Structure 1
Amino acid sequence: MLINCKEMLEQSRGAIASFNCVDFEMARACLEAGEEARQPVIIGIAVRHWKALGGRLFIPSIRALCVEADIPAALHLDHAGPEDLDIIDEALDSGFSSVMIDASRKPFAANVEVTRGIVQRARLFNASVEAELGPLPGDEGVAGLVDTRGAVYTDPQEAGEFCAETGVDALAVAVGTAHGLYTAEPEIQQELISRIARETGVPLVLHGATGVPDEAIREAVRRGVKKINYFSGLLVDAMDVIRRERKSDDNDYLRHRSELREAWKRRAGNLIQLYSGHSS
């Protein structure tokens, strides 16, 4: 059942897992994990991957998975920049139920202006909007190594002003995470999450969850994080399966696809339980 992220986050007691997916099998695995856990799931398509894979061609099948899922599911466009407004329009026209506008590297006033325009556009489609304030280190969608030392954090007062002026449904914040794989365990600024949550009154989004310790995740959820993005670990799982299964005389492609799907499903299932607060 396809719904927008605003409805999903309002109904959730814990945090919702958002998995950026690069193909049908990855999306299928994550949704099956959600169905088994009886928890909602967000399937994200990063603009980087939309451009690389030809979004208009592969989106219909993934959207169909979300529509036919036996749980609430959202189809989310992730990290569209101010230069990607045409892709946002295509995504909304294609039936995405949520979009993210990331103008976090723009000055505050420009970020507000761009975001407000996307909010107005998305409302016409009953789609929710996520924005970002405070750019995260790392290269989104690549799973490279990243050092979080010297990171810039989101300012709580600015965050409050930003949400009031734009009307966004969710806000991605810089609180110690990064896109990619960490060179050292990240230090999540938990008190900062609480302060931002008090100032904004909107669901907060944690990007870069791969490698964040479970207890740090639980604490972040307690303090106001309602959506958690996960991607790099899915790529690591895929390459682990490929390296383990690779044999010169083995050409059973369909079996390898099944192995990949099962690995992603196990990972997604564990994370869904952790984020929602149902894990031990």
Structure 2
Amino acid sequence: MPLVTTGELIAGASTEGRALAAFNVITLEHAEAIATGAEEAGAAAVLQVSENAVKFHGGNVLAIAAAAAAVARASSAPLSLHLDHVVSVELLHSAHEAGFSSAMFDASKMTYDENVKATAEAVRWGHQRGIWIEAELGKVGGKEGEAPLDAHTPGVRTDPQEAATYVADTGVDALAVAVGSSHAMTERTASLDHELIAQLRDAVPVPLVLHGSSGVPDEEIRRAAAAGMVKINVGTALNTAFSGAVRAYLDAHPGTVDPRKYIAPGRDAMAATVAHFLRTVG
């Protein structure tokens, strides 16, 4: 079916009082697994390509974006294409040409004032081209070797009043907030600050986004979605499933040299993981 915009999917989820899961795409097999899992679960999903994934592909966003878009168009599930964790303004400005309907502009490592200025400019640029813009306030942590962060560490969690001001000053369409999850977790042990989620929901007039959901148990995700989290980002869980299935196949068949033999079970494991998360948030 035709690509759906992320904005449409988010609006539909918000109206229906549920959450929408977004999954990171690194390879063609990731995109195929996301589409298969969404079809199996009978749900919509977002295919996300991060700046790190673009770097992995030699800095060429057009190739991986075209592959993901082709998979999405061939699927019977409603799927959108999102450019995730963009630090480079140059990469952000390629979003429209590459076919992304949305982007997450990440200025979270800047000072607050610099973050507001840079994000407001990204929003102005995006809205002129019909691109939905997500931003982050607070520190989710865990990327590029960072240690996971506790939800109660001073200065880490997103402050509700600051978040309300930030959204008003930048005009973002959605806000990723720090409430206890962390990127790159391989075990699902994170405990979310649900009281803070409720406070942020009441203070912020745009959809809230939970990054680092791979490390969050199912029941915590369900509670977060019920409390107001609308977009649930999942990345590491797919890689964990893929790597585990590939290792198991190669352990059982050590003489294998045809990559299709071990990539296929890896892709199937990712698809099952996608379907599980979609049923959890839905």
Asked if TM exceeds 0.5, the reply is yes
Structure-1 residue corresponding to 2:184: 180
Instruction: Say yes or no: does 1:163 pair with 2:167.
Output: yes
Matches within 5 A, 1:26-175: 26-53=30-57, 54-81=60-87, 84-139=88-143, 146-149=147-150, 150=153, 152-175=156-179
Question: Normalized against structure 2, the TM-score is what?
Answer: 0.91
Instruction: Say yes or no: does 1:268 pair with 2:269.
Output: no
1:270 maps to amino acid: H
Structure-1 residue corresponding to 2:233: 229
Q: Cα distance, 1:182 vs. partner?
A: 6.2
Instruction: Say yes or no: does 1:201 pair with 2:202.
Output: no
Q: Is the 8 A contact 2:246 2:263 kept in 1?
A: no
2:178 maps to amino acid: A
Q: Is the 8 A contact 2:54 2:61 kept in 1?
A: yes
Q: Is the 8 A contact 1:146 1:182 kept in 2?
A: no
DSSP 3-state at the match of 1:181: coil
Q: What is the aligned-residue RMSD (CA, Å)?
A: 1.8
Distance 2:177 2:186 in 1: 18
Segment drifting more, 245-254 vs 8-17: 245-254
Give CA-to-partner distance per residue, 1:26-76, whole Å, 9 cap, x none.
111111211222211100011011012132222211112223332321111
Q: Is the 8 A contact 1:145 1:183 kept in 2?
A: no
Q: Cα distance, 1:261 vs. partner?
A: 1.4
Q: Cα distance, 1:8 vs. partner?
A: 0.9
Q: Is the 8 A contact 2:243 2:266 kept in 1?
A: no
DSSP 3-state at the match of 2:213: coil
Distance 2:33 2:61 in 1: 19
Q: Cα distance, 1:166 vs. partner?
A: 1.6
Distance 1:114 1:67 in 2: 33
Distance 1:123 1:38 in 2: 31
Q: 1:61 to 1:87 in 2, by over 3 A?
A: same
Runs of 4+ aligned residues of structure 1 deviating over 3 Å after TM superposition are 144-147
DSSP 3-state at the match of 2:143: coil
5+ residue gaps, structure 1, are none
1:267 maps to amino acid: T
